Amino acid sequence: MKDKKKKDDIEIKEETPNEEIEEIIEDIKEEESEVDLLKKEVEKLKNDYARAYADTENLKKRLNQEAEQTRKYRIQSFAMEILPTIDNLERALAQEVPEDAKGFYDGIKIIYDQLINALKNEGVKEIEALDKEFDPNYHQALMLEKVEDKKPGIVLEVLQKGYLLKDRILRPAMVKVSE
Protein backbone atom coordinates (compact mmCIF):
# COMPACT_ATOMS: atom_id res chain seq x y z
CA MET A 1 0.00 0.00 0.00
CA LYS A 2 0.97 3.50 -0.44
CA ASP A 3 2.05 5.41 2.59
CA LYS A 4 1.36 8.79 1.14
CA LYS A 5 -0.80 10.04 -1.62
CA LYS A 6 -0.48 13.37 -3.23
CA LYS A 7 -3.49 15.17 -4.41
CA ASP A 8 -3.12 18.74 -5.42
CA ASP A 9 -0.07 19.18 -3.20
CA ILE A 10 -1.86 17.91 -0.08
CA GLU A 11 -0.39 14.99 1.69
CA ILE A 12 -2.81 12.44 2.95
CA LYS A 13 -1.61 9.76 5.32
CA GLU A 14 -3.16 6.48 4.91
CA GLU A 15 -3.42 4.09 7.78
CA THR A 16 -4.87 0.73 7.63
CA PRO A 17 -8.56 0.95 8.39
CA ASN A 18 -8.34 -1.74 11.07
CA GLU A 19 -5.80 0.19 13.14
CA GLU A 20 -7.87 3.35 12.94
CA ILE A 21 -11.07 1.52 13.92
CA GLU A 22 -9.31 -0.19 16.80
CA GLU A 23 -8.08 3.17 18.10
CA ILE A 24 -11.57 4.63 17.89
CA ILE A 25 -13.08 1.60 19.60
CA GLU A 26 -10.45 1.79 22.33
CA ASP A 27 -11.19 5.51 22.85
CA ILE A 28 -14.92 4.79 22.99
CA LYS A 29 -14.40 1.99 25.53
CA GLU A 30 -12.31 4.27 27.74
CA GLU A 31 -14.93 7.00 27.55
CA GLU A 32 -17.76 4.51 28.24
CA SER A 33 -15.84 3.17 31.22
CA GLU A 34 -15.36 6.72 32.51
CA VAL A 35 -19.05 7.51 31.93
CA ASP A 36 -20.05 4.33 33.79
CA LEU A 37 -17.83 5.30 36.72
CA LEU A 38 -19.32 8.78 36.78
CA LYS A 39 -22.86 7.37 36.60
CA LYS A 40 -22.11 5.07 39.54
CA GLU A 41 -20.65 7.94 41.52
CA VAL A 42 -23.67 10.15 40.77
CA GLU A 43 -26.01 7.33 41.83
CA LYS A 44 -24.03 6.84 45.06
CA LEU A 45 -24.14 10.57 45.80
CA LYS A 46 -27.89 10.66 45.12
CA ASN A 47 -28.37 7.72 47.49
CA ASP A 48 -26.19 9.38 50.16
CA TYR A 49 -28.17 12.61 49.79
CA ALA A 50 -31.49 10.77 50.11
CA ARG A 51 -30.28 9.02 53.26
CA ALA A 52 -28.97 12.23 54.79
CA TYR A 53 -32.24 13.99 53.97
CA ALA A 54 -34.29 11.15 55.50
CA ASP A 55 -32.09 11.13 58.61
CA THR A 56 -32.53 14.87 58.98
CA GLU A 57 -36.30 14.63 58.61
CA ASN A 58 -36.47 11.78 61.14
CA LEU A 59 -34.34 13.75 63.61
CA LYS A 60 -36.57 16.79 63.13
CA LYS A 61 -39.71 14.72 63.78
CA ARG A 62 -38.18 13.06 66.85
CA LEU A 63 -37.08 16.41 68.30
CA ASN A 64 -40.55 17.87 67.69
CA GLN A 65 -42.16 14.88 69.42
CA GLU A 66 -39.80 15.18 72.37
CA ALA A 67 -40.49 18.90 72.65
CA GLU A 68 -44.24 18.23 72.54
CA GLN A 69 -43.92 15.56 75.25
CA THR A 70 -41.89 17.95 77.38
CA ARG A 71 -44.52 20.68 77.02
CA LYS A 72 -47.37 18.25 77.64
CA TYR A 73 -45.91 16.81 80.86
CA ARG A 74 -43.91 19.82 82.12
CA ILE A 75 -45.82 19.89 85.43
CA GLN A 76 -45.32 16.22 86.24
CA SER A 77 -42.49 16.56 88.77
CA PHE A 78 -44.23 19.48 90.52
CA ALA A 79 -47.50 17.55 90.69
CA MET A 80 -45.73 14.52 92.16
CA GLU A 81 -44.22 16.70 94.87
CA ILE A 82 -47.51 18.46 95.70
CA LEU A 83 -49.65 15.27 95.98
CA PRO A 84 -48.53 14.48 99.58
CA THR A 85 -49.50 18.04 100.56
CA ILE A 86 -52.93 17.54 99.04
CA ASP A 87 -53.25 14.23 100.92
CA ASN A 88 -52.44 16.03 104.17
CA LEU A 89 -54.94 18.80 103.44
CA GLU A 90 -57.62 16.16 102.77
CA ARG A 91 -56.82 14.46 106.08
CA ALA A 92 -57.07 17.80 107.88
CA LEU A 93 -60.40 18.57 106.19
CA ALA A 94 -61.75 15.12 107.10
CA GLN A 95 -61.39 15.83 110.83
CA GLU A 96 -64.31 17.10 112.87
CA VAL A 97 -63.96 20.79 113.53
CA PRO A 98 -65.08 22.53 116.72
CA GLU A 99 -67.28 25.56 116.19
CA ASP A 100 -64.60 28.00 117.30
CA ALA A 101 -62.17 26.68 114.59
CA LYS A 102 -64.65 26.99 111.71
CA GLY A 103 -62.79 29.97 110.21
CA PHE A 104 -59.52 28.02 110.24
CA TYR A 105 -61.26 25.08 108.54
CA ASP A 106 -62.75 27.36 105.87
CA GLY A 107 -59.31 28.86 105.16
CA ILE A 108 -57.75 25.42 104.66
CA LYS A 109 -60.69 24.41 102.43
CA ILE A 110 -60.13 27.49 100.23
CA ILE A 111 -56.42 26.69 99.90
CA TYR A 112 -57.22 23.05 99.08
CA ASP A 113 -59.77 24.07 96.42
CA GLN A 114 -57.29 26.48 94.84
CA LEU A 115 -54.61 23.80 94.64
CA ILE A 116 -57.02 21.28 93.13
CA ASN A 117 -58.26 23.82 90.55
CA ALA A 118 -54.69 24.80 89.62
CA LEU A 119 -53.81 21.14 89.08
CA LYS A 120 -56.99 20.54 87.05
CA ASN A 121 -56.09 23.49 84.83
CA GLU A 122 -52.78 21.77 84.10
CA GLY A 123 -54.45 18.43 83.28
CA VAL A 124 -54.13 16.67 86.65
CA LYS A 125 -57.26 14.82 87.67
CA GLU A 126 -58.26 12.29 90.29
CA ILE A 127 -58.67 8.64 89.29
CA GLU A 128 -62.25 7.61 90.03
CA ALA A 129 -62.10 4.35 91.94
CA LEU A 130 -64.86 3.97 94.56
CA ASP A 131 -67.49 1.38 93.52
CA LYS A 132 -65.71 0.88 90.18
CA GLU A 133 -64.31 -2.36 88.87
CA PHE A 134 -60.70 -2.91 89.91
CA ASP A 135 -58.29 -2.01 87.11
CA PRO A 136 -54.63 -2.85 87.78
CA ASN A 137 -53.61 -0.12 85.33
CA TYR A 138 -55.11 2.57 87.59
CA HIS A 139 -55.51 0.92 91.00
CA GLN A 140 -53.17 -0.75 93.43
CA ALA A 141 -54.93 -3.27 95.67
CA LEU A 142 -53.65 -3.15 99.23
CA MET A 143 -56.42 -5.14 100.87
CA LEU A 144 -59.08 -7.71 99.96
CA GLU A 145 -62.34 -8.05 101.83
CA LYS A 146 -65.18 -10.49 101.39
CA VAL A 147 -68.48 -8.59 101.11
CA GLU A 148 -71.66 -10.54 100.38
CA ASP A 149 -73.65 -7.90 98.53
CA LYS A 150 -70.75 -6.86 96.23
CA LYS A 151 -69.46 -8.85 93.31
CA PRO A 152 -65.72 -9.68 93.31
CA GLY A 153 -63.30 -7.13 91.92
CA ILE A 154 -65.18 -3.98 93.00
CA VAL A 155 -63.31 -1.21 94.81
CA LEU A 156 -64.78 -0.93 98.30
CA GLU A 157 -62.64 1.86 99.71
CA VAL A 158 -60.02 4.29 98.47
CA LEU A 159 -57.14 4.38 100.94
CA GLN A 160 -55.15 6.95 98.95
CA LYS A 161 -56.36 8.84 95.88
CA GLY A 162 -54.70 8.25 92.57
CA TYR A 163 -54.06 10.93 89.96
CA LEU A 164 -53.60 11.19 86.20
CA LEU A 165 -51.70 13.85 84.29
CA LYS A 166 -53.54 14.00 80.97
CA ASP A 167 -53.17 10.34 79.89
CA ARG A 168 -50.25 9.42 82.14
CA ILE A 169 -50.59 7.96 85.64
CA LEU A 170 -48.94 10.09 88.30
CA ARG A 171 -49.90 7.80 91.12
CA PRO A 172 -52.25 4.78 91.18
CA ALA A 173 -55.15 4.78 93.62
CA MET A 174 -54.47 2.60 96.66
CA VAL A 175 -57.67 0.64 97.24
CA LYS A 176 -59.46 -2.10 99.14
CA VAL A 177 -61.14 -4.59 96.77
CA SER A 178 -63.95 -7.10 97.24
CA GLU A 179 -63.15 -10.80 96.91
* Separation of alpha carbons 168 and 76, rounded Å: 9
Which CATH number is 76-178 given?
2.30.22.10
Find out whether 178 and 143 touch, Cβ atoms under 8 Å. no
Find out whether 126 and 83 touch, Cβ atoms under 8 Å. no
Provide the pLDDT for residue 56: 96
In a 13 Å sphere around the CA of 125, the CA atoms on its Cβ side amount to 8
Per-residue pLDDT tens digits for 133-172: 999 999 999 999 998 888 899 999 999 999 999 989 999 9
Q: What is the largest CA-CA distance in the chain?
A: 138
Provide the pLDDT for residue 2: 44
Provide the pLDDT for residue 14: 58
User: What residue segments make up the domains of the chain, in order of their start?
Assistant: 16-72, 76-178
* Separation of alpha carbons 55 and 65, rounded Å: 15
Per-residue pLDDT tens digits for 110-143: 999 999 999 999 999 999 999 999 999 999 999 9
Alpha-carbon dihedral angle through residues 44, 50, 56, 58, given to the nearest 10 degrees: -120
* Separation of alpha carbons 106 and 125, rounded Å: 23
The residue-averaged pLDDT of 18-34 equals 85
Rg (CA), the chain: 42
Residue 5: in which H helix or E strand, if any?
strand 4-7
Per-residue pLDDT tens digits for 34-91: 999 999 999 999 999 999 999 999 999 999 999 998 888 889 999 999 999 999 999 9
Provide the pLDDT for residue 16: 64
